[in-house]
């Protein structure tokens, strides 16, 4: 009888387009789901989007559209992205769907009936990006959020509170009694210590926030985004709905049958391993069996995130290298649970060494030899199963690692087998014996063993690189495994025609690739929302190897500047006295400005496309006062005019009230 395996990704915020960090969790869960299906389990894979809350409201406002329109635009990026990434989710839930609100109302009704809600007041340091309060102890110096590295704000509110503190002991018991409750072990200890230090009741409603689910029976209150969001894991199954077969099947009551697994990034572990089980305990509902936390993708030592401005666009990577190499890289490069760094160099190195060289070359070499020696077919399976023990051991190790969620080690186990197969091939030198009829048996034995070992490697790769693994298997005249049993020794047929194939993993010319300034692999994820879209698209893609400007200084130190560094730049308000076009330039204007000095100075500004000279006369601008003079189109410019620029556009910056010319801007 098959058991149920329910696996979820977090639901992603829609304040920006999906980036590599989001894709990672989805790919991990897809690999888990595919593997469990091969193991014969009944899998249900849920993903979706988290669409309520202040951040989304703000992002929508910035784009001048409604939060729902904004969410719709961001969510539209998911189906094509997931399709191109071969994601096999069973459902995609959006928290703005009516079916979700029903589930949220139902869980709140149960929590209220348990007497776990009360009206209270609360104050503390609040991070709007996390939508959570922090204690002073948890904050970085300057009351900065440890995840977003942005300042928190002091907030006081009167809200509905959930008696989280009541569940402290029950939570501790859960961590102690179930080894699998929170994984890896180090994270379980971390969460345990946090809870042991004492839990405060949790504010679960917000006033003055309209973009959310109205709190039942409490007009003017909106459900706290995390109570709203976490409930997706059961609302998507039909919890609270008249039809709840999926819920009964995958979140079964009073039974330890089946598994319910949430995969999350380490930044949101607290919400999943403390709040969520406490809500469920209060509501009298079963708990997840496991909350698994993974690490972060970093770029230049900082978490890849929209707020850090260092996102890596998965669409571009897929376009350049294909989805499967990206999936492979994500799972192979990151030691599951720890942080890993993303760079073009690392990606290309891994691709060339593991995929083009180890896998691609082994496959193509053994196939060329077999075609030549056996009339375009697989060799007969004669002689000894020389690589069988190695393959059996590799598969056992692969399966154990997959069960332990050690994906990088599962892949290492497959690569060990690949390397053993290669060594076997090289040591037996079949190419030297192919013309010798008396060595035919030996040649067949060598090639068949190598093909069979490679088939097993490709079979194990199916959850990781579904399309490429299938191509390898087709090239080897085999079919895609439908069960883990198909990874046992002996599947390669005798005398099966070997189709001609194009190279599976063409080598990437790293130097040429990195030198090509037009390769936009690492840069801003395309923001498909809002009116500024076209302007954004015009922005020249960054050079692949280029670091984010201003993000780092030599020595790896972060590029924040101190106040003294800022004051080195002297900004001053100036009045434009005269303005004229510069001959032969369609971009530059020559401005004569009064910057509070004895005599006016000349500043050249690149705003001719946006402004007529006469429009600027009498206007105030802000200039960099202490900039070294420079000659532009033959005119000496003493300073620079500040403008907000996006793509080719430039909008001059000025004080919102007139001030005396020469006033310092700081």
Q: Which is nearer to ligand MSP, 310 or 478 (CB)?
A: 310
Nearer to ligand MSP, 224 or 448 (CB): 224
Rounded to a whole number of angstroms, the minimum distance from the CB of residue 460 to ligand MSP is: 24
Residue closest to ligand MSP when measured from CB atoms: 265
Q: Torsions phi, psi of 120, nearest 5?
A: -155, 175
Quick check: is 377 catalytic?
Answer: no
Using alpha carbons, list the distances in angstroms from residue 657 to 116, 397, 620, 621, 643. 52, 70, 10, 12, 17
Residue 619 among the catalytic residues:
no
Give every CB contact of residue 438 below 8 A, 6+ residues apart in sequence: none
Nearer to ligand MSP by Cβ, of 49 and 620: the residue is 49
Q: Which is nearer to ligand MSP, 22 or 37 (CB)?
A: 22
Measured from the CB of residue 305, what is the shortest distance to ligand MSP in angstroms? 5
Comparison of 264 and 413: residue with beta carbon closer to ligand MSP: 264
DSSP code string of 150-163: SB-EEEEEEEEEE-
Annotated catalytic residue 22:
yes
Among 221, 303, 468, 543, the one annotated catalytic: 303
220's tokens? 């003017």
Least CB distance from residue 233 to ligand MSP, whole Å? 7
How large is the greatest C-alpha to C-alpha distance in the chain, in angstroms?
102
Phi, psi of 646 (to 5 degrees): -140, 120
**Which residue among 70, 100, 294, 306 is the active-site one?**
306
Task: Find where tokens 């109205």 sit.
Answer: 214
Q: How far is the CB of 136 from ligand MSP (least distance, A)?
A: 23
How far apart are the C-alpha atoms of 326 and 104, rounded to whole Å? 36
Among 52, 89, 130, 221, the one annotated catalytic? 130
Alpha carbon 605 to its chain's center:
40
Catalytic residue among 70, 148, 221, 272: 148
Q: In this complex, which beta carbon is closest to ligand MSP, that of residue 269 or of residue 593? A: 269
Smallest gap from Cβ 506 to ligand MSP, in A, equals 29
State the nearest-atom distance from the C-beta of 21 to ligand MSP, in Å. Answer: 2
Q: Is 306 an active-site residue?
A: yes
Asked if 576 and 612 count as a contact pair (C-beta separation under 8 A), the reply is no
CB nearer to ligand MSP: give 25 or 422.
Answer: 25
Q: Which of 52, 70, 100, 127 is catalytic?
A: 127
In 306-431, where does DSSP find H-type helix? 314-321, 323-333, 344-350, 362-373, 388-403, 407-428
Instruction: Decide if 262 is catalytic.
Output: no
The closest alpha carbon to 339, from 290, 292, 301, 307, belongs to: 301
Name the nearest CA neighbour of 455 among 515, 555, 403, 388.
Answer: 388
Minimum gap (Å) between residue 414 Cβ and ligand MSP: 24
* The residue count for the chain: 666
Q: Name the site residues for ligand MSP (rule: CB under 6 A).
A: 10-13, 21-22, 24-25, 50, 229-230, 232, 264-265, 267-268, 296-297, 303-305
Residue among 52, 70, 145, 294 flagged as catalytic? 145
Encoded tokens for 302: 């900082």
Smallest separation, CB 22 to ligand MSP (Å): 5
Hey, what are 660's tokens? 């005396």
Q: Give the nearer residue to ligand MSP in terms of CB position, either 311 or 390.
A: 311
Q: What phi, psi does 126 have (nearest 5°)?
A: -120, 130
Burial class (CB in 10 A: 0-12, 13-18, 19+), 176: exposed
Judge whether 536 counts as a catalytic residue.
no
Whose CA is closest to 279, among 235, 218, 339? Answer: 235
Integer angstrom CA distances of residue 640 from 545, 565, 571, 573, 592? 30, 18, 9, 11, 12
122 contacts: CB under 8 Å, gap ≥ 6: 133, 156, 157, 158, 159, 161, 203
The single residue listed with the structure tokens 């009064």 is 594
**Closer CB to ligand MSP, 304 or 355, in the complex:** 304
- Which residues carry out catalysis? 19, 22, 127, 130, 145, 148, 303, 306
């Amino acid at each position: 009888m098959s058991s149920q395996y329910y696996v979820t990704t977090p639901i992603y915020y829609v304040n920006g387009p999906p980036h590599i960090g989001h894709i990672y969790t989805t790919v991990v869960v897809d690999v888990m789901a595919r593997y469990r299906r091969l193991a014969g389990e009944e899998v249900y894979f849920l993903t979706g989007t988290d669409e309520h809350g202040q951040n989304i409201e703000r992002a929508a406002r910035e784009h001048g559209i409604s939060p729902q329109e904004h969410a719709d635009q961001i969510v539209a990026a998911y189906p094509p992205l997931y399709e191109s990434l071969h994601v096999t989710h069973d459902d995609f839930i959006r928290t703005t769907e009516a079916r979700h609100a029903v589930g949220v109302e139902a869980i709140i009704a149960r929590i209220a009936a348990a007497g776990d809600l009360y009206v209270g007041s609360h104050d503390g340091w609040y991070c709007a990006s996390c939508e959570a309060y922090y204690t002073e102890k948890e904050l970085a110096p300057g009351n900065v959020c440890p995840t977003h590295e942005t300042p928190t704000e002091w907030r006081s509110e009167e809200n509905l509170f959930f008696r989280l503190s009541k569940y402290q002991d029950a939570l501790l018991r859960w961590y102690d009694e179930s080894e699998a409750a929170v994984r890896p072990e180090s994270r379980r200890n971390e969460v345990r210590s946090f809870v042991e230090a004492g839990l405060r009741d949790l504010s679960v409603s917000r006033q003055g926030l309209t973009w959310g689910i109205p709190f039942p029976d409490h007009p003017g209150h909106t459900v706290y985004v995390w109570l709203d969001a976490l409930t997706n894991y059961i609302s998507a199954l039909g919890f609270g709905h008249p039809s709840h077969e999926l819920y009964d099947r995958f979140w079964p009551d009073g039974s330890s049958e089946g598994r319910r697994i949430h995969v999350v990034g380490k930044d949101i572990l607290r919400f999943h391993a403390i709040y969520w089980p406490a809500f469920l305990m209060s509501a009298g509902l079963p708990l997840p069996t496991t909350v698994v936390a993974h690490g972060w993708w970093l770029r230049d030592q900082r978490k890849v995130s929209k707020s850090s401005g260092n996102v890596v666009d998965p669409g571009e990577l897929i376009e350049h290298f294909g989805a499967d190499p990206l999936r492979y890289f994500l799972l192979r490069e990151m030691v599951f649970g720890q942080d890993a760094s993303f760079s073009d160099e690392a990606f290309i190195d891994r691709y060339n060494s593991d995929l083009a060289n180890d896998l691609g070359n082994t496959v193509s070499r053994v196939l060329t030899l077999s075609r030549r020696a056996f009339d375009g077919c697989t060799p007969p399976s004669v002689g000894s199963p020389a690589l069988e023990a190695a393959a059996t051991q590799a598969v056992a190790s692969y399966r154990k690692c997959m069960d332990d969620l050690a994906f990088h080690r599962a892949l290492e186990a497959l690569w060990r087998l690949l390397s053993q197969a290669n060594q076997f091939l090289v040591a037996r030198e079949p190419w030297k014996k192919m013309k010798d009829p008396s060595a035919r048996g030996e040649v067949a034995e060598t090639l068949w063993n190598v093909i069979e070992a490679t088939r097993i490697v490709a079979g194990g790769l199916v959850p990781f690189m579904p399309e490429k693994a299938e191509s390898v298997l087709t090239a080897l005249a085999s079919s895609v495994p439908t069960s883990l049993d198909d990874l046992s020794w002996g599947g390669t047929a005798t005398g099966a025609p070997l189709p001609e194939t194009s190279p599976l993993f063409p080598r990437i010319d790293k130097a040429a690739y990195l030198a090509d300034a037009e390769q936009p692999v690492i840069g801003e994820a395309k923001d498909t929302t809002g009116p500024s879209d076209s302007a954004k698209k015009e922005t020249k893609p960054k050079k692949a190897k280029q670091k984010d400007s201003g993000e780092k200084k030599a020595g790896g130190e972060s590029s924040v500047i101190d106040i003294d560094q800022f004051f080195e730049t002297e900004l001053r308000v100036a009045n434009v006295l005269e303005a004229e076009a510069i001959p032969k330039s369609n971009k530059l204007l020559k401005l004569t400005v009064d910057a509070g000095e004895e005599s006016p100075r000349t500043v050249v500004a690149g705003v001719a496309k946006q402004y007529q000279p006469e429009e600027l006369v009498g206007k105030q601008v802000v200039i960099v006062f202490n900039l070294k003079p420079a000659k532009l189109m033959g005119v000496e410019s003493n300073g620079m005019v500040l403008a907000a620029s996006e793509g080719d556009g430039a909008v001059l910056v000025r004080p919102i009230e007139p001030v005396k010319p020469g006033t310092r801007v700081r």
